[in-house]
Structure 1
Amino acid sequence: MGLMVGTGFAGVGFALFGTAVGCCGVAWRDEVIVGVALPARPDGADEIAGHAATRASLAAEHPDFVEGEPPPAVAAAIDGMIALLAGEPIDLADIRVDLDGMPDFHRRVYEVTRAIPPGSTLTYGEVAARLGMPGAAQAVGQALGRNPVPIIVPCHRVLAAGGALGGFSAPGGAATKQRILRIEGALPAPAPTLFDDLFADS
Structure 2
Amino acid sequence: METTVFDTALGTFGIGWTADGVARLQLPGLDADDMVEWINSKDAVPGEPTRAVEAVINLIEDYAEGNVVEFRDVRLDLQGVPEFHRRAYELLLDYGWGQTTTYGELARALGDVTLSRAVGQAMGSNPIPLIIPCHRVLASNGKTGGLSAPGGAESKLRMLALEGVAVGAPAGQMTFGF
Normalised TM-score (structure 2): 0.89
CA drift at 1:31: 5.6
1:48-107 CA-partner distances (Å, limit 9, x unpaired): xx32221111122x3x32222200111101111111122111110110111121111100
Query: What secondary structure sits across from 1:181 in the alignment?
Result: helix
Q: Trace 1:125-140 onto structure 2 (pairs within 5 A).
A: 125-140=104-119
- Distance in 2, Cα, partners of 1:89 & 1:129: 28
Q: 4+ residue stretches of structure 1 with deviation over 2 A?
A: none
Aligned residue-pair number: 167
Structure 2 SS opposite 1:33: strand
- Secondary structure of the residue aligned to 1:93 is coil
Correspondence for 1:21: 10
Q: Which has the larger radius of gyration?
A: 1
Letter in 2 for 1:88: N
Contact 1:28 1:35 in 2 (8 A): yes
Q: CA deviation at 1:179?
A: 0.6
Letter in 1 for 2:116: A
Structure 2 gaps, min length 5: 168-178
Q: Is 1:179–2:168 an aligned residue pair?
A: no
Q: Distance in 2 between matches of 1:55 and 1:40?
A: 12
How many angstroms apart in 2 are the aligned matches of 1:31 and 1:161? 35
2:20–2:76: 8 Å Cα contact kept in structure 1? Answer: no
Equivalent position amino acid for 2:163 in 1 = E
Give the AA of the match of 1:138: R
1:69 aligns to 2:48 (yes or no): yes
**Where in structure 1 are there 5+ consecutive unaligned residues?**
1-11, 42-49, 189-202
From 19, 26, 43, the equivalent of 1:30 is 19
CA distance in 2, matches of 1:25, 1:187: 27
Q: State whether structure 2 residue 98 is matched by structure 1 residue 119.
A: yes
Report if aligned partners of 1:31, 1:73 keep a CA contact under 8 Å in 2.
no
Aligned partner (choices 120, 123, 126) of residue 147 of structure 1: 126
Q: TM-score, normalized by length of structure 1? A: 0.79
| Corresponding residue of 2:135 | 156
